Amino acid sequence: MLRMTTSGESHGPAETCIVEGVPAGLPLDASVVDRDLARRQGGYGRGGRMAIEKDRCRFLGGVRHGRTLGSPICVVVENTDFCNWSTAMSPEPLPGGEPSLEDLRPVVVPRPGHADLGGIAKFGFSEARNVLERASARETVARVAGGAICRRLLEQAGVTVRARVVSIGSVRSTTAADLCDAKSVDWHAVEDSPVGCEDHAASQAMCEAIDEARRQGESLGGVFEIWCWGLCPGVGGYERFESRLDGRLLGAIGSIPAIKGVEIGSAFDNAGRPGSLVHDELQVKDDGQGRVIARVSNRAGGLEGGMTNGLPIVIRAAMKPIPTLTTPLGSVELPGLTQRDAHFERSDVCAVPAARVVGEAMTAYVLAGAYLDKFGGDSLGDFVASLAAYEARLESRGLWRPS
Ligand code: EPS
């Protein structure tokens, strides 16, 4: 079973990810992970912190001479900013008795929309520093590191995972895509855009909206779309509620900080249409290699009955605006319950372009887990052989052909 767990505080020494269950023999080196770390760090709308951090990973276990060992993989990304927080965030007791209030950098006015207040209540803390350090989206560095390892495994299965931004604030991309065909999106243009949106005019307007939000002391949310292709049908399951891939993906994407809504395919539009205009009809086509089942629409977003159906999985995620505002909202100071403006701490104006990379990581994690559940294998060779035998069986029956 594939399992990923993360540890680390935003201004602590490091962010760490442990990934268990990756087969032995997978080619893996730091550059594979660093590429995604750099993509997550980039994106127009980030704050001063990104000028401090130069995220690079180091493997502490599970990898030898550029290949996985089958043992848990431990990957660490150091927080360069820790040197500015070494007293406030010291894991060791501070020498010389009680630290001063200034040393501790307490946060006594919780930010509406942030974990501050709930965390104080949950853990019995007197202020929010312990809460926001872990609730910070800095934690997603570790997820992206772990997700890059999962993405590496999926590559061996012919599966690609990519995401694009489709809106920031009220600016929407107008580029149409065919949900049946991932190549209908210009993924190079997505990567070239400062906000991860291939629509050039919308991309520029998004940057301007971010500039304006910064001037107004505001923050902006948006929507990103994750695509996965090269999938064979029948991965996931309907046998147990935990097997359903829809639920696993919705939960994983919903666990990303600030994500408040997720849809698969055109789910919200589908809810208002009659069934005959929703379900993706089956056809027989001759693709030159023989007769095979095909579809001309993908409103289901690649998932039926909790399983892949061989079409691209398409997921949309809605991100709320970041809760830290330079023009703060009303809040209440603790203790004493005095009405105050919410705490302001250096933050980003918009992190939707970064969140799209986190969305890729969480999707890669869930899909790699589902592939391993089905095809197993302690070694990469066993995993690939099992997958190839399954895909050959589907092809011989005309149920599916790799595109
Ligand atoms: C975050 C606040 C900012 C962000 C941070 C998430 O950090 P800081 O308080 O140090 O300026 O930049 O995101 C990251 C550091 C990152 O790497 O994504 C928050 O409060 O959630």
**Residue-range domains of the chain with CATH:** 3-396 (3.60.150.10)
Q: Which of 319, 272, 281 is nearest to 300 (CA)?
A: 281
Mutate to test the pocket of ligand 1, among 10, 37, 52, 350 (most ligand atoms within 8 A of CB): 10
Cβ atoms 52, 80 nearer than 8 A: yes
Q: Which residue has the tokens 């996965």?
A: 228
Confidence band for 109, pLDDT divided at 50, 70 and 90: very high
Nearest protein CA to atom 5 of ligand 1, as residue: 138
Task: Report residue 283 as tokens.
Answer: 């056809």
What separation in angstroms does the CA of 62 have from each of 22, 72, 281, 370? Answer: 9, 5, 45, 21
State the average pLDDT for the chain: 96
Q: Is 106 in the pocket of ligand 1 (CB under 6 A)?
A: no
Of 79, 62, 55, 67, which is closest to residue 3 (Cα–Cα)? 62
Residue 403 has pLDDT above 90, yes or no: no
Report d(CA 233, CA 351) in Å as an integer: 33
136 lines ligand 1 (CB under 6 A): yes
Determine which of 92-101, 154-163, 336-345, 363-372 has the lowest per-residue pLDDT on average: 92-101
Alpha helices in 194-244 (DSSP H): 200-215
Q: For residue 315, which phi and psi values (nearest 5 degrees)?
A: -125, 135
Instruction: Report the nearest atom of ligand 1 relative to the CA of 47.
Output: 12
What is the whole-number distance in angstroms between the Cα of residue 320 and the centre of ligand 1? Answer: 15
Say yes or no to pLDDT of 97 above 80. Answer: no
Spatial neighbors of 43 by CB under 8 A, at least 6 apart, are 194, 195, 196, 350, 351, 352, 353, 354
Cβ neighbours of residue 336 under 8 Å, at least 6 residues apart?
A: none
Using the predicted structure, report yes or no on whether residue 98 has a pLDDT greater than 80. Answer: no
CA of 112 from ligand 1 middle (Å) equals 17
pLDDT of the residue at 343: 84
**From the CA of 37, how far away is ligand 1's center (Å)?**
14
Q: Which atom of ligand 1 lies nearest, measured to the CA of 141?
A: 17
Average pLDDT over residues 150-164: 98
Mean pLDDT (whole number) for 296-322? 98
Distance 132 CA to ligand 1 centre (A): 10
The closest alpha carbon to 218, from 326, 112, 320, belongs to 326
Query: How many angstroms does the Cα of residue 22 sit away from the middle of ligand 1?
Result: 30
Q: Tell me, what's the pLDDT at 344?
A: 83
What are 93's two structure tokens?
A: 């007791």
Q: What is the pTM of this model?
A: 0.97
pLDDT band, residue 104 (cuts 50/70/90):
confident
Cβ of residue 348 lying under 6 Å from some atom of ligand 1:
yes
Atom number, ligand 1, closest to the C-alpha of residue 345: 9
Q: What pLDDT is attached to residue 235?
A: 98
Residues with Cβ within 8 Å of 381's Cβ and at least 6 positions away in sequence, in order, are: 25
Mean pLDDT of 336-354: 92
**Residue 345 beta carbon below 6 angstroms from any ligand 1 atom:** yes
Which atom of ligand 1 is nearest the CA belonging to 46? 12
Q: Is the CB of 219 under 6 A from ligand 1?
A: no
Contact, 132 vs 116, CB < 8 A? yes
Give percent above pLDDT 70 in the chain: 100
Tell me how far apart the alpha carbons of residues 374 and 387 are, in angstroms, rounded to a whole number.
9
- Atom 13 of ligand 1, nearest CA residue: 138
